[in-house]
Amino acid sequence: MLVLAGIVVLHITTIILLLVATIDNAWWFTETEYTDLWGRWEFINLDWHYSELKKYTGVQPDFLQSVQATSVLACVFTILALFVFVGQLFTLPKGQRFLFTGILQLIACLCIMTAASIYTAQLHTTDKKGGYGHCYILAWISFVLTLFLTITYVVLRKRSE
């Protein structure tokens, strides 16, 4: 029972980290600018101003939209996996539990890995100043946690048979 409670806490923590990584405004930052997946915050005249991401031209908007979509999908699949986990816990017999939950977690894991990888490889590659923000780091931490949860669900399924 303690193991299941720990899994639920870890799963909720992962959901929170993914939501913060997707919503908050610090994927890339400089001294006067914070950029997220949806817009840019610039510090002008002692005030923060929001603007659309117009900087990306050519092929880059497609990459940005891919990062946005896969980040949102990772959140959706992780939340869905939590509901499926709770449902499977009380409805399926031992040996059949957690397989679908593990599959949903694996999809979420691949989505967040794809988002962070595309962001790393395609966006801000020519910027001389700035660095990756805490949301970018949270995305990679979320990847590790979702991978760990995927492995945990597979092990729990095998252990209960």
**Are the C-beta atoms of 117 and 50 separated by less than 8 Å?**
no
Domain membership flag for residue 36 = no
CA 78 to chain centre: 9
> What residues does 40 pair with on adjacent strands?
35, 51
**CA dist., res. 115 & res. 108, Å (int):** 11
Lowest model confidence (mean pLDDT) among 5-9, 55-59, 118-122, 153-157: 55-59
pTM beyond 0.75? yes
Identify whether 153 is part of a domain.
Answer: yes
Q: Which of 47-56, 121-130, 134-143 has the lowest mean pLDDT?
A: 47-56
51 within some domain:
no
| Residue 35 placed within a domain | no
User: Residue type at 135?
Assistant: C
Range with top average pLDDT, 41-55, 92-106, 130-144? 130-144
Instruction: List the single range of 10-14, 25-29, 110-114 with lowest mean pLDDT.
Output: 25-29
**94 located within any domain:** yes
Average pLDDT of the chain is 87
Between strands 40-44 and 131-132, the pairing is unpaired
Mean pLDDT of 50-56: 73
Q: How many domains does the chain have?
A: 1
pLDDT at 35: 87
Please report the pLDDT score of residue 161 as a whole number. 43
pLDDT of residue 95: 60
pLDDT score at 116: 94
Is 16 part of a structural domain of the chain? yes
Residue 34 lies in a domain: no
Q: Is the pLDDT of residue 57 over 60?
A: no
State the alpha helices, DSSP H only, in 24-133. 60-91, 99-122
Task: Give the domain extent around 135.
Answer: 2-26+59-159
pLDDT in tens, 134-157: 999 999 999 999 999 999 888 876
